[in-house]
Chain A
Amino acid sequence: MANFILRKAEPKDVSDILRLIKELAKFEEMEDQVILTEKDLLEDGFGDHPFYHCILAEVPKQQQSADGHVIIGFAMYYFTYDPWIGKLLYLEDFYVMKEFRGFGIGSEILKKLSQTAVRTRCSSMHFIVAEWNKSSIEFYKRRGASDLSLEEGWRLFKIDKQNLTANTNKKR
């Protein structure tokens, strides 16, 4: 069984955070879509106003991964706001390296996130899951998650930078 600890990310962790973001993107076959840099992660996560928070899973050196890493899992989250009930915790990314799965690390991370949400007086935790990701959907449903897209018919929309800029330039 893997010994591991969970801790808050620090500035020194940004290269591991980026590595894990890219690994998760690779799993979704989207690795070339990651244009974020370590510099962005440092400024955005550890400046005056953090735009995200990270929990990291770390193993002792003797149990490091095959490619020599001790940071072997992470969750990235931030706070959002529901106009009916106030603060929510939004889980953005959640990943444990393949060789470290099955030891309860994911469960412990989710437990930690739940404690964070309750402590900061959040009413719920929200997150999105791809409809084809059956194993993740089952993982979350076992922990009481409900599919708001199914129950309430919510669809996620995007206006990308090109269209935002076009909107900005429109005459009144």
Chain B
Amino acid sequence: MANFNLRKAEPKDVPDILRLIKELAKYEEMEDQVKLTEKDLLEDGFGNHPFYHCVIADVPAEHRCSLTDYSVIGFAMYYFTYDPWIGKLLYLEDFYVMKEYRGFGIGSEILKTLSDTAVKNRCSSMHFIVAESNKASIDFYKRRGASDLSLQEGWRLFRIDKENLLKMSAEE
């Protein structure tokens, strides 16, 4: 079994965070959509007002797989949102463990840490989105008590992109 350690991300972790974001995007066949840079991640995560938080999973040198030299092998990115009926929520944005490190309970431990963070911060729930095609992830979350609000309550996620925001900003 892999020995691993979970900790809060620090500024020095930014290159690894970006690497893992890109790996997860590659898995979704969207790697070229990642426009974010290490500089953005540093300013946005470790400035006066952090726009995101990260939990990092790392392994000691002797436990690294031969396939990789990395010690940071998994992460979860989250932030706090606000529900006008119940207040603070924890929103899980990205969640990924490198393939060679799966099956050791690292994902479960990360989710447990996030649950703990949510409860400590007086959050009423944790929210996140999952692609309807991602059956393995849906089952993983359902085993931990997740319910599909899109199914139960009919919520649909909408976006107004920058082009249309600029159009609206400029309207008379």
Using CB atoms and an 8 Å cutoff, list the residues of chain A in contact with chain B.
Answer: 21, 24-25, 30, 33-36, 40, 44, 49, 51-52, 76, 78-87, 90, 92-93, 110-111, 114-115, 117-118, 122-132, 137, 140, 143-150, 152-168, 170, 172
Contact = CB atoms under 8 A, between A and B. Distances in A.
SS class, residues of chain B in contact with chain A: mixed
Interface of B: 21, 24-25, 30, 33-36, 40, 44, 49, 51-52, 77, 79-88, 91, 93-94, 105, 108-109, 111-112, 115-116, 118-119, 123-133, 138, 141, 144-151, 153-169, 171
A170 B112 contact: yes
A156 B164 CA distance: 24
B85 A33 contact: yes
B25 A84 contact: yes
**Residue among A87, A162, A164 with most chain B CB within 10 A:** A164
SS class, residues of chain A in contact with chain B: mixed
A132 B154 contact: yes
B18 to A, nearest CB: 9
Contacts of A168: 112, 115-116, 119
Contact of A81 (B79, B124, B148, B171): B79
A157 B148 contact: yes
A132 B155 CA distance: 9
A54 to B, nearest CB: 10
Contacts of A165: 115, 119
B145 A143 contact: no
